[in-house]
Amino acid sequence: MLNGKHITLGIETSCDETAVGIVADGREILANVISSQIDIHTKFGGVVPEIASRRHLEVINGVIDEALREAGITMDEVDLIGVTYGPGLVGALLVGVATAKAMAYAKHIPLVGVNHMHGHVAANYLAHPELEPPFLGLVVSGGHTNIIAVDDYNECRTIGATRDDAAGEALDKIARVIGLGYPGGPKIDREAKKGDPHAHEFKRVTLEKGSYDFSFSGLKTQALNFLNKERQAGREISVPDIAASYQEAIMDVIAEKAVSAALDLGETRIAVSGGVSANSRLRELLREKGEEHGISILEPPLILCTDNGAMIACAAYYQMKKGIFADETLDACPGLEF
Ligand code: KG4
Ligand code: ZN
């Protein structure tokens, strides 16, 4: 406890960020330290799982110490430890899970295993102190594209999901092919600002009527075929135009589906999260379409959109409130569903 407030420490190591956040009473961020491995993986054009695990192991203790320093507390003030146990890369998850279990055991602190996707939803509780469920969540990340009915804290129902590639995966792949490197999402976002979103009209895949599912693999193939054709014909491609057109096709479908799901379900709020929700065009389209239909769009700041420990601490706090704890048998669960 610190000044009568409950203190949660959240650990996140599911992919390529070693992150530790500390929150007071579930919603007030005292520290949010993120050690990114992006520079290391950039050389390989994507995340190398073995390297990710090793790096997490090297830096995790330092990141915890820095978070405690930033929050101005010691482990003695920590009341709860939350840790991401899935979905993600198994070796990477194991580093966080083992660390959290060891700390909980050594300091006699209760432990909560957090679903990474619930963590992304929880980023909105940190960004919007007044927000309470129910609301519609849109979680768009490197591995997920989900429209979620958030019925209660940590109670999420998937309304729509991608049937193949996640939006982030589709962005990262084409970014690599057009030479932008990893991670592609932010680079496509930046290039797209200089390009024409209608230079190439990529066909949108909207699936059957009434479905809120997504499919991005056909779009990715269209873009790859187009790029190959242009190359074979010896034509110069405009990276900004391709980035803008491809981004437009992805974000248009996401915004359209999310808003129509909200309308059909009678929800007036869409809370976005996940790395791809940092995309400036997605935010613009959601705001435009939302405004048209009286739906408000809740956006966390960029630092809470991508992977971080504060969102895990927040989700853990609400799980603790419901009495859902983990023990020393907690294990990494790479394929954990929403
Ligand atoms: O949520 P996140 O940090 O990690 C996962 O849980 O996957 O999301 C990472 C994804 C990557 O695919 C990255 O390219 C994408 O988020 N991303 C973006 C932007 N910033 C990050 N995509 C589009 N526009 C951005 N500004
Ligand atoms: Zn994530």
Paired tokens of 93:
């998850």
Residue-wise pLDDT for 150-193, tens only, equals 999 989 999 999 999 999 999 999 999 999 988 899 999 999 99
> Per residue in 5-58, pLDDT tens?
999 999 999 988 899 999 999 999 999 999 887 788 777 777 888 888 898 999
Query: Nearest bound ligand to CA 216?
Result: 1
| Cα radius of gyration (the chain) | 20
User: With contact defined as beta carbons under 8 Å apart, do 17 and 34 qualify?
Assistant: yes
53 Cα: distance to centroid of ligand 2 (angstroms): 16
Nearest CA to ligand 1 atom 11: 142
Secondary-structure breakdown of the chain: helix, strand, coil percentages, each rounded to the nearest 5: 45, 20, 35
Tokens 């809120």, residue located: 212
pLDDT of residue 39: 80
Strands 155-161 and 145-152: antiparallel
The whole-chain average pLDDT of the chain stands at 94
What is the rounded distance in angstroms from the CA atom of residue 135 to the CA atom of residue 150? Answer: 5
pLDDT the model gives residue 46: 77
**C-alpha 234 – ligand 2 centre gap (Å):** 39
Q: State pLDDT tens for residues 69-91.
A: 999 999 999 999 999 999 999 99
| Ligand 1 atom at minimum distance from 88 CA | 6
Q: Is beta strand 155-161 parallel, antiparallel or unpaired with respect to 28-36?
A: unpaired
Which one, of 163, 113, 147, 86, lies nearest residue 273 by Cα?
Answer: 147
Measured from the CA of 280, which atom of ligand 1 is nearest?
Answer: 26
Which ligand lies nearest the alpha carbon of 191?
A: 1
Instruction: Please report, rounded to a whole number, the percentage of residues in the chain having pLDDT higher than 70.
Output: 100
Q: Which of 107, 108, 110 is nearest to 6 (CA)?
A: 110
Closest ligand to the CA of 303: 1
- pLDDT band with cut points at 50, 70 and 90 for residue 317: very high
Question: By the 8 A CB rule, do 238 and 195 touch?
Answer: yes
Rounded to the nearest whole angstrom, what is the distance from the C-alpha of residue 174 to the centroid of ligand 1? Answer: 14
HEC secondary structure over 143-197: CCEEEEEEEECCEEEEEEEECCCCHHHHHHHHHHHCCCCCCHHHHHHHHHCCCCC
Helices (H) and strands (E) in the chain, counts: 11, 10
Residue 274 Cα: closest atom of ligand 1? 1
Nearest to 30 by CA among 62, 1, 7: 7
Residues having CB closer than 6 A to ligand 1 are: 15, 141-143, 168, 171-172, 183-186, 189, 274-276, 278-279, 306-307
